[in-house]
Structure 1
């Protein structure tokens, strides 16, 4: 019995010795700093979590696109990063920089002012549907309720899909939904 106990003790020791002593040693300095920063700021939301392995969420996808810098700035200014980083799922109609440039001069700059934050939030929320709707799921005349309470109308004709007349020019899946790139900014009625 003594030999069996000793063998079990030795085997257990070998198993523990072969494991990494701690997960902390396997982490990079930047990962540890990120964890410390999140832990030290209890108000940090989902967007503060660093995850370099999973598929990117809608905000991360937009942030890597050179064609969506205006949209990303607007989302940050409106305080919607954490909301759109959460699990969702979301269908986001994402206007390009060129779409924002089609607005009357000074519109974007005006909306980025602190006193216009609620207007900016409403416009951005008009671009978001809760749920995942892939490009092939749209029907002509379909009406969707958006996050801001407004409605958009889908158009499908000759293989082209539009939302309130704006062309969907690309669709990009993400970890928490889908992004449909559009060539116009959608404005609530």
Structure 2
């Protein structure tokens, strides 16, 4: 029995020795390189998952009332950031809110040379953490992602952020979206 086992081990060793190890290394290296390149070009937003609850970006992008916001988030290159685990509280202006801005403002902010201004404005709409509408207190001040602060208002059951009305609240997989009727502008 020992002779048979020894013969199998020798045969297996001979088969392995006949393989070209440099070809195996190239294959492994190629796979590692392709994986690294794929990860470098696509972030969290590239993950395909049609079964889980949608994240803040997916919810906003699927809303016909938030096409301007979705375009701005993409232009500002914040899609991957906002698809991460968070959690985030996002104050999401509607298309009508963007239309209240002076003519040409949105188009100007979507220009490549204004990307940092656009990011600043969008980050002013994001708080790190989950704050549901019933957790806000009148006069409460929140530190936003851009370093600025917003002030919450609560009166007669209505909640506002810097005077903008919260029209609806939508839970997401990585936080909550509060739909608002004005664009918040940092001071």
TM-score class, shorter-chain normalisation, is 0.7 to 0.9
Q: Which among 19, 26, 50 is matched to residue 52 of structure 1? A: 50
Partner of residue 42, structure 1: 39
Matched residue of 1:42: which SS?
Answer: helix
Partner of residue 159, structure 1: 157
Partner of residue 182, structure 1: 180
Map residues 61-80 of structure 1 onto 2, 5 A cutoff: 61-80=59-78
Query: Offset of 1:40 from its aligned partner?
Result: 5.2
Cα 1:183/1:146, change in 2 over 3 Å: same
Q: Which among 143, 160, 170 is matched to residue 172 of structure 1? A: 170
For the residues of structure 2 that align with 1:39 and 1:149, how far apart are their CA atoms?
A: 33
For the residues of structure 2 that align with 1:49 and 1:38, how far apart are their CA atoms?
A: 14
Query: In the comparison of the two structures, how many residue pairs are matched?
Result: 153
Matched residue of 2:169: which SS?
Answer: strand
Map residues 73-92 of structure 1 onto 2, 5 A cutoff: 73-92=71-90
Query: Offset of 1:61 from its aligned partner?
Result: 0.3
Instruction: Point out where structure 2 has 5 or more consecutive residues left out of the alignment.
Output: 1-33
Higher mean Cα deviation, 71-80 or 42-51? Answer: 42-51
For the residues of structure 2 that align with 1:158 and 1:148, how far apart are their CA atoms?
A: 30
TM normalised by structure 2 equals: 0.80
Query: Offset of 1:41 from its aligned partner?
Result: 1.9
Partner of residue 104, structure 1: 102
Partner of residue 140, structure 2: 142
For the residues of structure 2 that align with 1:60 and 1:87, how far apart are their CA atoms?
A: 13
For the residues of structure 2 that align with 1:84 and 1:119, how far apart are their CA atoms?
A: 18
Larger radius of gyration: 2
Matched residue of 1:41: which SS?
Answer: helix
For the residues of structure 2 that align with 1:40 and 1:58, how far apart are their CA atoms?
A: 26
Taking only aligned residues, the RMSD between alpha carbons, in angstroms, comes to: 1.2
